[in-house]
A and B are shown apart, each in its own frame.
Chain A
Amino acid sequence: MIEVEGLTKLYGDFAAVTALSFSVQPGELLGLVGPNGAGKTTTLRSIAGIIPATRGTIRIAGHDLATDPVGAKRELAFFSDEPRLFEYLTIRQHLDFTARLYQVPDAPARYARLLEELELTAKADQLPGDLSRGMKQKVQIACGLLHSPKVIFFDEPLTGLDPLAIRRMKDTIRRLATEGASVVLSSHLLHLVEELCSRILILKNGTKVAHGTVDQIRSQFAADDADADLEEVFIRIATGTGTPPPPPAPPAP
C-alpha cells in the first residue's frame, strides 16, 4: 500500500532525509521514531505529498505520488500534530467542505455516523475556537476518515490529549489498521509505538538506522540485554552506544 524507494529530501546542501526505503502493507502499523531533527515529519510530509521529495519514488495504494498526485492523495489521510482547522468554519461545514473536495458520494450519512462515533454530534454547529484540543483532534480525524482512506499518516497523534482521549485515539488507530488501512505513526512516545505498531522504523540524521519488529531491532542493537525495551534500544541508538548494525551487503556483481 505504501512503497517508498530512495526518498531523499534536500534543503540546499542539507539532507533532511537520505535514501530512505520502506513499505507498509494493508493492515500494518509502522512506527516512525527518532530523535528531534531526525527527519520524521519531513518523511511523513513527503510521503503525504505535502512537500516535494528531491529524489525517490513514492507509491500510495498503487498511485505514483510524482506522476499521479491527485490519485494518491485521494487514498490517504494525513493527521498533523497540531489540528489545523479553519477558524471560521463550524464542524459540520468542515465536513461539507471535505466531502466536496474528496467527492464523497453519501457524505451526510457518513459524517453523521462519524460525528456520532466521535461524540461530536452535539457540537456540530460550533466553531473550532469553542472546542478543546482533544475535540479539535477529533474533528480532524472525522474530516480525514470521511473518504475512507486506505493509507493514514499520524504525526504525534497524542500530543495534548487527556488520558481518556489518548485511550480513544489508540483504539481508533488500532481499529483503522484492523480494518485494512496502512498506517504510519510518528511519535516520541516510545511506549505508544511499542504498544501499537507491528514494525518500527528508526531514523537518525535523516537516515534509516533500524527497521523491523521490536524484537528484531532489540536483537540488533541490544543483544546483550534481553529485557531491553524500545526506550533502552532507542537511547542506545540515539547516543551511539548500541551494538553497531551489520555492514551493508556488498553490491551484486
Chain B
Amino acid sequence: MGNNLLPVISALWFLQSRSLYNAAKARLLRLRQPRYLIGGIVGIGYLWAVFFRRFFQTRTTANIGGWDLSPETAGWIEAAAALALAVYAVSVWVFAGDRASLAFTEAEVSFLLPAPVSRSALLNFRLLRAQPGILLSTFFFNLFTGRSHSLFEWFSHGFTLWLVFTLLFLHSIGASFAIQRLTERGLAGWRRRLVVLTIVLCLVGAVYAWIQAAPAAAPVRDLDALQDRIRALMSAGPAPWLLAPFRWVVRPWFTRSLSEFLVALGPALLILVGHYLWVVRANVSFEEAAMEASRKAAVMLAAARSGNLHQLAPPKVRRDPFPLPSLGFPPLALLWKNLIAAGQLFTGRIWFFALLGIGTFVVTSALTRDSFSGLQNASMIATSVSMMLLLMSLFLGAQVVRHDFRSDLAQMDMLKALPLPAWQVVLGQLLAPIVILTGFQWLLLGVLLGGSLGLSGKPDDAIAPWRFPGVLAAAFLFPGINALVLLLPNTIALLFPAWAGTQQGRGGGIEVMGQRLVFSLGFALVLVIGLLPAGIIGALCWWIAQLVVGPAWALPIAALPAALVLLAEFAAGIWGLAFAFDRYDVTSP
C-alpha cells in the first residue's frame, strides 16, 4: 500500500459516511410528501410480507427452508458453484474490452485524479468504495437464500458470499489490467480471445481425453447413469484439479462447524490476498480508461434514472423509416422521428422480409402438413413461442417500447414550442410505440397461424374452425389495446413525471419501489376498466353474430365494433392527454 493510504482512507470514510448520512436524511425528509410516504409504507409492507415475515414466524417443521443437505448433495452444489465461478473467470478474459476497466464517478475523477494521491492509493480507494455495495449485495443475497437455522450458518454463508463477490470484483479488475498489458504488447482483440479460447479448449480437451481413456463405463441411459459418470469425472483425472481453486473459494459455505469453516477459510483467503496483490501491484495506467468508464457509467446512470434503458448504447446513423415530405399531416413527423429512435429494426425493408418469411412459413406449413413430421415439431415450437411472446407484448410491451413522451421529457421545451395543436403532438408521440407493438404482434400472429397450420394434420384438430377467425379477431383488436395501454404510462409521465420514474435524479429506495407497486396495481385496474366497455360491446356483438355465421366467424365480426370502442376510448384519451400536455410545465419540479 502507498504511504499516503491513511489520508485516502480517512477521505473515503468522510465521503462515504457523509454521503450515506445525507442520502438517508434526504430520504427521510421527502417522506413528508404524501407520494413518498405512501410509497414507503407500501414498500416496507411488501418487503415485510415477502422477506422478513418468515423470520418472525415459528417454524412448523424442523427442516423447513433449511440447508440441511446430505454430503453428496452438498458436493454436487459445491461442484456446480465452482464450475459457475470458472465459467465467469473465463468469460471475463474472453468478453472484456482491451483497456483497463475501473470506473470512478465523475466527481471522483474530478477530485481524485488531479489530487496528490499515489496510483495504489487510488486503487485502494476504489476497492474500498466497492465494499458498501458488496456488503449490501451480500446482505440481500443472504436474505433471499438465508433460510438458515443457526447464527453460524448466517455467518458462514454471509462471509462466503462476501468473499465470492469481492473476488469476482477483484478478478474482473485484475483481468482487465492484465488484458491492457497484453494489448500494449500487441495481443489485442480477437487475437487475445483466440489465445484464451485455445487454452480453455485444450483444458476441456484434456478432460475429454481422460474420459475417453478411462475404463469403459456403463453407457449413459438414464439419470442415475449420468450422475455416476459425472461423479467419476469430478473425483479423478484433470477436472478436480482444474476446479480445485474455485472449490476452495466456495467451500466455506458448505462447512457445518466453526472448526471446519476456519480450515476451509485458509485457502479461500489466500486466493483473496493473491488477487488483491495482483491488482494493487499491477503497474498499469488506468486513469484514461477510468475517465472513459466513468463517463459511460454516468451516461448509463442518467439513462437508467430517466427510465430510458434503451438509450444506453451510443446512437448510430439510421435510415429514414419512410420518406417524409415537408407538407402533410404533421404528427407523422413525430412518428418518423420516434421510429428512427427505435432503430433500424423497423425499416420498411426489414418488415418486408419479415412478412415474406412469415408468408413462406404459413404457405409451407399449409402445403406440407401431412407429409413432414419434423415440421410439426417446428410448428409446435413456433406456436408456443409466438403465443408466449404475444402475451408478453400485451402485458409488458408498453414498458419495453418507450419511444413516446417517456423518452422525450428532456426535450419537452422543444415539443411545447412546436406550432401544432396539443392533440397532434400527443397523437404523434404515441404513434411510434403503437405501430411498433402492433407490427410485432401481427408478425407473431402470422407465425402463430403458420405454426397452427403446421399442426393441423392431426385428427383431433379441435381448433381448426377457430384458427383464421381467431387470428383475424386478434389482429383487429391489438392496435386498439396497444393504444389504450400506452395511454396510461404517458398520462403518468405528463401528469406525474416524478412519480412515473421518468425524471433524472430522482434516486431509488424502498419508497420508490412502493410507488412502482402502487402504479402497477393502478395500471392493471385502469386497464381492466378501460377494456370493459369494448369487452361488453364485443360480447354482445358476438352473441348476435354467432346466430348468423356461427361462433367462430362471429369472433372477427364482434372484434370490429370492439376495436372501434377501443379507438373511441383512445381518442378520448388523446383529448385528455392533450389537456395535460397543454398544462405541462417544463420548469415544475
Q: How distant is B271 from chain A, measured CB to nearest CB, in Å?
A: 43
- Contact across chains for A84 and B413 when beta carbons are under 8 A apart: yes
Residues of A within 8 A of B315 (CB): 87-88, 127, 129
A240 at the interface (CB under 8 A from B): no
Q: How distant is B336 from chain A, measured CB to nearest CB, in Å?
A: 7
- Contact across chains for A88 and B413 when beta carbons are under 8 A apart: no
Among A45, A48, A97, A126, the residue within 8 A (CB) of B317 is A126
B532 at the interface (CB under 8 A from A): no
B173 at the interface (CB under 8 A from A): no
- Contact across chains for B326 and A105 when beta carbons are under 8 A apart: yes
Among A11, A80, A103, the residue within 8 A (CB) of B588 is A11
A22 at the interface (CB under 8 A from B): no
A32 at the interface (CB under 8 A from B): no
Residues of A within 8 A of B327 (CB): 100, 103, 105
> Bound state CA distance, A126 and B325, in angstroms?
21
A99 at the interface (CB under 8 A from B): yes
Residues of B within 8 A of A45 (CB): 413, 586-587
Q: What are the interface flags for B336-371 relative to A under an 8 Å C-beta threshold, 1 for contact and 0 otherwise?
A: 110011000000000000000000000000000000
B583 at the interface (CB under 8 A from A): yes
Stretch at the interface among A70-78, A160-168, A204-212, A222-230: A70-78
Stretch at the interface among A49-57, A178-186, A243-251: A49-57
Q: How distant is B224 from chain A, measured CB to nearest CB, in Å?
A: 56
B 298-325 contacts with A by CB, 8 A: 311, 314-318, 320, 324-325
B418 at the interface (CB under 8 A from A): yes
Q: How large is the interface on B (under 10, 10 to 19, 20 to 34, 35 or more residues)?
A: 35 or more
B318 closest partner in A (C-beta): A88
Q: What are the interface flags for A78-115 relative to B under an 8 Å C-beta threshold, 1 for contact and 0 otherwise?
A: 10100010111110010011011111110110000000
Q: What are the interface flags for A34-73 relative to B under an 8 Å C-beta threshold, 1 for contact and 0 otherwise?
A: 0000000010010011111000000000000000001111
Among B326, B417, B588, the residue within 8 A (CB) of A99 is B326
Residues of A within 8 A of B330 (CB): 100-101, 103
Given A84-B411, A96-B326, A100-B332, do A49 and B585 touch, yes or no (CB 8 Å)? no
Residues of B within 8 A of A99 (CB): 326
Given A52-B583, A88-B341, A129-B314, do A100 and B333 touch, yes or no (CB 8 Å)? yes
- Contact across chains for A51 and B586 when beta carbons are under 8 A apart: yes
> Bound state CA distance, A104 and B419, in angstroms?
12
> Bound state CA distance, A86 and B411, in angstroms?
8
- Contact across chains for B586 and A74 when beta carbons are under 8 A apart: no
B202 at the interface (CB under 8 A from A): no
B328 at the interface (CB under 8 A from A): yes
- Contact across chains for A89 and B340 when beta carbons are under 8 A apart: yes
Among A70, A73, A74, A107, the residue within 8 A (CB) of B326 is A107
A70 closest partner in B (C-beta): B419
B507 at the interface (CB under 8 A from A): no
B408 closest partner in A (C-beta): A86
- Contact across chains for B413 and A101 when beta carbons are under 8 A apart: no
> Bound state CA distance, A78 and B416, in angstroms?
11
Highest count of chain B CB atoms <10 Å: which of A42, A72, A88, A96: A88
Q: How distant is A139 from chain B, measured CB to nearest CB, in Å?
A: 13
Residues of A within 8 A of B417 (CB): 48-50, 73, 76, 78
Residues of B within 8 A of A73 (CB): 417-420
- Contact across chains for A51 and B333 when beta carbons are under 8 A apart: no
A215 at the interface (CB under 8 A from B): no
Q: How distant is A150 from chain B, measured CB to nearest CB, in Å?
A: 12
A117 at the interface (CB under 8 A from B): no
A231 at the interface (CB under 8 A from B): no
B116 at the interface (CB under 8 A from A): no
Given A86-B341, A90-B317, do A49 and B326 touch, yes or no (CB 8 Å)? no
Residues of A within 8 A of B421 (CB): 70
Q: How distant is B521 from chain A, measured CB to nearest CB, in Å?
A: 30
> Bound state CA distance, A101 and B419, in angstroms?
7
Q: What are the interface flags for B2-15 relative to A under an 8 Å C-beta threshold, 1 for contact and 0 otherwise?
A: 00000000000000
A 144-194 contacts with B by CB, 8 A: none
Q: How distant is A61 from chain B, measured CB to nearest CB, in Å?
A: 12
Q: How distant is A196 from chain B, measured CB to nearest CB, in Å?
A: 23
A125 at the interface (CB under 8 A from B): yes
- Contact across chains for A97 and B587 when beta carbons are under 8 A apart: no
B462 at the interface (CB under 8 A from A): no
> Bound state CA distance, A237 and B340, in angstroms?
50
- Contact across chains for A97 and B333 when beta carbons are under 8 A apart: yes
- Contact across chains for A50 and B317 when beta carbons are under 8 A apart: no
B343 closest partner in A (C-beta): A88
> Bound state CA distance, A100 and B418, in angstroms?
11
Q: How distant is B404 from chain A, measured CB to nearest CB, in Å?
A: 14
B414 at the interface (CB under 8 A from A): yes
B228 at the interface (CB under 8 A from A): no
> Bound state CA distance, A101 and B311, in angstroms?
24
- Contact across chains for B326 and A127 when beta carbons are under 8 A apart: no
> Bound state CA distance, A88 and B582, in angstroms?
26
> Bound state CA distance, A74 and B424, in angstroms?
15
Given A70-B420, A86-B341, do A101 and B333 touch, yes or no (CB 8 Å)? yes
A 108-135 contacts with B by CB, 8 A: 108, 125-127, 129
Given contacts A45-B587, A74-B419, 7 further A-B contacts (CB under 8 A): A11-B588, A51-B587, A84-B410, A97-B337, A100-B324, A101-B419, A127-B315
The 7 closest A-B CB pairs, nearest first, are A99-B326, A100-B333, A107-B326, A73-B419, A74-B419, A88-B315, A50-B416
A-B contact pairs, 29 of them (CB 8 A): A45-B586, A48-B417, A49-B417, A50-B586, A51-B587, A52-B585, A70-B419, A70-B420, A73-B419, A74-B419, A84-B411, A84-B414, A88-B318, A88-B340, A89-B340, A89-B341, A90-B317, A93-B340, A96-B326, A97-B333, A101-B418, A103-B326, A103-B327, A103-B330, A104-B326, A105-B326, A125-B317, A127-B315, A127-B317
